[in-house]
Amino acid sequence: DTEVTQTPKHLVMGMTNKKSLKCEQHMGHRAMYWYKQKAKKPPELMFVYSYEKLSINESVPSRFSPECPNSSLLNLHLHALQPEDSALYLCASSYLTGEDTQYFGPGTRLTVL
Amino acid sequence: SQQGEEDPQALSIQEGENATMNCSYKTSINNLQWYRQNSGRGLVHLILIRSNEREKHSGRLRVTLDTSKKSSSLLITASRAADTASYFCATDASGTGNQFYFGTGTSLTVIP
């Protein structure tokens, strides 16, 4: 299984809602990543988990809260988002961090009203 | 920011022609990777070239790396309409371990 899955595919939420994005991989990868991508822009790194511990937080606002319950799962909890947070949220995984090929999920298209 | 710059931003060619995209980056790297993204979808890894390599091939893809100029190029030969996508280079800065930065991307359109 060389797939990274993400749910939901699309999400529309209000600014007062709480929602979660989910990501799953069964490749035995020990590093997992969240990226944010705006239209016609490159992905921007948000968080890196290495061996289920948060190793990088790229100064992301606290309304985004990552969680790694186990080595196969990565969540992104969303609360009190702003309309400018609307974007494609991509999850990726790699065997190890830094030098390894990252495998990307299809993304969650988030719209904040 | 360690983000790379790619040029051209957009490229339109006829099917069968070759497409060349360039990537320049700012700091020393361990490796450079190229990814492809179809509109609104996830990224697909194409090829990885390490800092001690100068050229690498994979099918119709040819990647070069010039660390002295901090630049790389991706050549797609005999392009097909299905190659229409955005192409990104990505680098890991030496010593940072976890951080992985994407270039600005080239949008390629192959006209049948």
Residue pLDDT, tens place only, A9-23: 999 999 989 999 999
Q: Is A97 on the interface with B (CB under 8 A)?
A: yes
pLDDT at B92: 80
User: Do you know the residue count of chain B?
Assistant: 112
Instruction: Say what the pLDDT of residue B1 is.
Output: 47
Whether the per-residue pLDDT at A99 is higher than 90: the answer is no
**Tokens 């065997």 — which residue?**
A95
Average pLDDT over residues A102-106: 93
Q: Is the pLDDT of residue B30 over 60?
A: yes
Q: Is B28 on the interface with A (CB under 8 A)?
A: no
The burial class, CB within 10 Å (0-12 / 13-18 / 19+), for B27 is middle
Instruction: State residue B69's pLDDT score.
Output: 95
Q: What is the mean pLDDT of residues A18-45?
A: 94
The strand pair at A10-13 and A64-70 is best described as unpaired
pLDDT for res B41: 85
**How many CB pairs lie under 8 A apart between chains A and B?**
64
Query: Where does B1-112 have alpha helices with state H?
Result: none
What pLDDT is stored for residue A2 in this prediction?
A: 67
CA distances from B20 to A8, A97, B37, B59, B110 (A): 36, 29, 16, 15, 12
Neighbours of B79 (CB within 10 A): 21
Gyration radius from chain A CA atoms = 13
Q: Does B65 touch chain A (CB under 8 A)?
A: no
Partners of residue A106 in chain B, C-beta under 8 Å: 41-42
| CB-side neighbour CA atoms (13 Å) of B46 | 27
Q: Is A57 on the interface with B (CB under 8 A)?
A: no
pLDDT tens, B36-93?
999 878 899 999 999 999 999 999 999 999 999 999 999 999 999 999 999 999 988 6
Whether A105 sits inside 8 A of B42 (CB atoms) is yes
Residues of A in contact with B96 (CB under 8 A): 98
Percent of chain A residues past pLDDT 90, beyond the cut: 76
**Residue B5 CB coordination number (10 Å):** 15
Nearest Cα of chain A lies from the Cα of B21 at a distance, in angstroms, of 15
Average pLDDT over chain A, rounded to whole? Answer: 92
- Report the side by side order of strands in the sheet with B55-58: B5-7, B19-24, B71-76, B61-66, B55-58
What's the CA gap between A55 and A33, in Å, rounded? Answer: 10
Centroid of chain to Cα B104: 10
Per-residue pLDDT at B95 exceeds 80: no
